[in-house]
């Protein structure tokens, strides 16, 4: 293992790519600590010290920004607008035929879709930064902490100050998007995924430190042990797949013979990745966000629906919240797999090139068989996603860890997935240079 790592740094091209990637990551983390204009840095830090749990309505965005959101930095929005824009673009393929046509056009169409995603990212950056600054002006960003500093996060709230903050945070989102694309082109691994990986990893020391200080070393080491087991299980499931055998008939073209080889269609147990968890989290945060914007005036009682939402849909350790969260993840898993894997399209492509599944007729019977297998494989995958996502909520009730409990939910799925993909890319780069790879 150590010899393989040494070979990485002895390879000039690979060493340059890794160095470039680490440099971009360092710039990204530096920007997470630079406050936006007209932000009172001392008051923000005082609120961060007093507030040990992340505000529920912004938990996911704060996680993906590496804690930059609650610091109101120039990179406060992180990569979240780009993730949302990418998901929306994928969903629009089902609704807008033009998007599906672009997707099938190959590299030219993909470039056009990427351009649409960039435009949508900037639009969402403006929308989210405006919402964030509005909440910060009202003093509700950290919830009811009772700290006077949390009600004065901005040095001034004039229109030109708000406009400059919106422009700065939106420009920060555009810069992050550009840095991610630079990593993909000149570095190693997928740039956007690595930036998310960096953001989530940056929250680990603080999360584990809070567990140590609040619960002591016994609980701390127990959490470490449980985390190792969870990571091993996630790696096992993420690598699991159902392989459907495919045979291609031999064809004579002139004097040459084509086809006749055997291959397979890999159907992963978790084909949806982390997207259903993001969908479910975002949908469950909408009621809490609406309730936050409908707080009563001083001396008045809140509305009944606001009270109900605050009692049941903002507390992660409540059984109703967990049940809704689990059911939404299962439902969104089936939905996302259905729009990303089209059995009829796969069956048509196989038929066009002379491929068939042994024992299954080509055409519609093949599509029905693929749909049957996909439905059966997706069931354990959706349950797995739901259980992984519930781990932080269970930890919140058992050990009092905050909602950003590191070994569970979107964080562990992204870290393991990105880590495996990056190691595979480094391994393939080594093998191209006639070296023995990292993976054996």
So what's the pLDDT on residue 53? Answer: 47
Task: List, for residues 263-317, the tens digit of each pLDDT value.
Answer: 888 899 988 888 888 788 778 777 777 776 666 665 667 777 777 777 777 766 6
Structure letter (DSSP) for residue 105: T
So what's the pLDDT on residue 56? Answer: 47
So what's the pLDDT on residue 390? Answer: 83
Angle between helices 97-104 and 107-138 (to 10 degrees): 130
List of residues 6+ apart from 145 with CB closer than 8 A: 47, 50, 51
- Are 69 and 142 in contact, with CB atoms under 8 Å apart? no
So what's the pLDDT on residue 175? Answer: 94
Mean pLDDT on 375-382: 91
Hey, what are 294's tokens?
Answer: 């409908």
What is the average pLDDT value for the chain, to the nearest integer? 81
Greatest mean pLDDT among 39-43, 240-244, 313-317: 240-244
Q: Give 248's strand partners.
A: 355
Look up the CATH architecture of domain 204-407: Orthogonal Bundle (1.10)
pLDDT band at 123 (very low <50, low <70, confident <90, very high): very high
pLDDT band at 138 (very low <50, low <70, confident <90, very high): confident
The larger pLDDT score, comparing residue 27 to residue 58, is at: 27
So what's the pLDDT on residue 182? Answer: 93
Find the range with the poorest average confidence among 227-231, 350-354, 360-364, 436-440. Answer: 436-440
3-state helix, strand, coil in the chain (%, to 5): 70, 5, 25
Task: List, for residues 214-236, the tens digit of each pLDDT value.
Answer: 778 887 888 888 888 888 888 89
So what's the pLDDT on residue 103? Answer: 81
pLDDT band at 405 (very low <50, low <70, confident <90, very high): low
In this predicted structure, the answer to whether residue 179 has a pLDDT above a threshold of 90 is yes
- Are 238 and 419 in contact, with CB atoms under 8 Å apart? no
**44 alpha-carbon distance from chain centroid:** 26
Mean pLDDT on 65-77: 81
So what's the pLDDT on residue 437? Answer: 59
The larger pLDDT score, comparing residue 53 to residue 232, is at: 232
So what's the pLDDT on residue 257? Answer: 61
So what's the pLDDT on residue 408? Answer: 64
Burial environment of residue 393 by CB neighbours within 10 A (0 to 12, 13 to 18, 19 or more): buried
In this predicted structure, the answer to whether residue 324 has a pLDDT above a threshold of 70 is yes
* 329/325 Cα distance (integer angstroms): 6
pLDDT band at 58 (very low <50, low <70, confident <90, very high): low
Find the range with the poorest average confidence among 18-27, 38-47, 207-216, 428-437. Answer: 428-437
* Ramachandran sector of residue 106 (left: φ over 0; alpha: ψ -120 to 50; beta: rest): left
So what's the pLDDT on residue 438? Answer: 60
Q: Give 244's strand partners.
A: 265
So what's the pLDDT on residue 55? Answer: 46
Mean pLDDT on 33-38: 88
Greatest mean pLDDT among 65-69, 232-236, 351-355: 232-236
CATH topology of domain 1-202: Preprotein translocase SecY subunit (1.10.3370)
Per-domain boundaries in the chain: 1-202, 204-407
* 136/130 Cα distance (integer angstroms): 10
Mean pLDDT on 77-94: 85
Nearest to 41 by CA among 164, 169, 153: 153
Q: What percent of the chain has pLDDT over 70?
A: 83
So what's the pLDDT on residue 177? Answer: 92
The arrangement of strands across the sheet holding 262-268 comes to: 262-268, 241-248, 355-356
In this predicted structure, the answer to whether residue 23 has a pLDDT above a threshold of 50 is yes
In this predicted structure, the answer to whether residue 57 has a pLDDT above a threshold of 50 is no
In this predicted structure, the answer to whether residue 409 has a pLDDT above a threshold of 80 is no
Q: Say which residue the tokens 């299954």 belong to.
A: 360
So what's the pLDDT on residue 378? Answer: 92
In this predicted structure, the answer to whether residue 376 has a pLDDT above a threshold of 70 is yes
The larger pLDDT score, comparing residue 70 to residue 242, is at: 242
* 347/352 Cα distance (integer angstroms): 9
Q: Say which residue the tokens 């707080």 belong to.
A: 295
Angle between helices 275-292 and 304-312 (to 10 degrees): 140
The reply to whether 1-202 and 204-407 are identical in fold is yes
The dihedral over CA atoms of 169, 170, 172, 173, expressed in degrees to the nearest 10, equals: 120
In this predicted structure, the answer to whether residue 196 has a pLDDT above a threshold of 50 is yes
């Amino acid at each position: 293992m150590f010899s393989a790592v040494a070979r990485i740094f002895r390879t000039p091209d690979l060493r340059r790519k890794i160095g470039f990637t680490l440099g971009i990551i360092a710039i990204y983390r530096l920007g997470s600590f630079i406050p936006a204009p007209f932000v009172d840095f001392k008051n923000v830090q005082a609120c961060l010290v007093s507030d040990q749990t992340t505000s529920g309505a912004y938990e996911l965005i704060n996680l993906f920004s590496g804690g930059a959101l609650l610091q109101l930095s120039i990179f406060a929005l992180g990569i979240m607008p780009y993730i949302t824009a990418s998901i929306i673009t994928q969903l629009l393929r089902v609704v807008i035929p033009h998007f599906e046509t672009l997707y099938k056009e190959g590299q030219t169409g993909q470039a056009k879709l990427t351009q649409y995603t960039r435009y949508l990212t900037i639009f969402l950056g403006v929308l989210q930064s405006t919402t964030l600054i509005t909440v910060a002006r009202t003093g509700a960003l950290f919830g009811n902490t009772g700290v006077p500093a949390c009600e004065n996060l901005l040095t001034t709230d004039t229109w030109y100050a708000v406009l400059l903050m919106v422009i700065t945070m939106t420009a920060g989102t555009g810069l992050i998007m550009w840095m991610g694309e630079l990593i993909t082109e000149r570095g190693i691994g997928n740039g956007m995924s690595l930036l998310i990986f960096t953001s989530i990893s940056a929250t680990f020391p603080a999360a584990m430190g809070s567990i140590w200080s609040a619960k002591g070393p016994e609980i701390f080491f127990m959490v470490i042990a449980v985390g190792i087991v969870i990571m091993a299980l996630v790696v096992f499931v993420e690598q699991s797949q159902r392989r459907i055998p495919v045979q291609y008939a031999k064809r004579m073209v002139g004097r040459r013979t084509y086809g006749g080889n055997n291959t397979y269609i890999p159907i992963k147990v978790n084909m949806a990745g982390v997207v259903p968890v993001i969908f479910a989290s975002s949908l469950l945060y909408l009621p809490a966000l609406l309730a936050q914007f409908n707080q009563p005036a001083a001396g008045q009682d809140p509305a009944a629906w606001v009270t109900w939402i605050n009692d049941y849909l903002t507390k992660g350790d409540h059984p109703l919240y967990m049940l809704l969260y689990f059911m939404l993840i299962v439902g969104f898993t089936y939905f996302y797999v259905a729009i990303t894997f089209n059995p009829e399209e796969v069956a048509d492509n196989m038929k066009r090139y002379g491929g068939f599944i042994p024992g299954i007729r080509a055409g519609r019977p093949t599509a029905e068989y693929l749909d049957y297998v996909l439905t059966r494989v997706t069931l354990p995958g959706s349950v797995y996603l739901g259980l992984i996502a519930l781990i932080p909520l269970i930890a919140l009730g058992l050990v009092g860890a905050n909602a950003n409990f590191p070994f569970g939910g979107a964080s562990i799925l992204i870290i393991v997935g990105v880590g495996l993909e990056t190691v595979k890319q480094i391994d393939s780069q080594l093998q191209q240079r006639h070296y023995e790879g990292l993976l054996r």
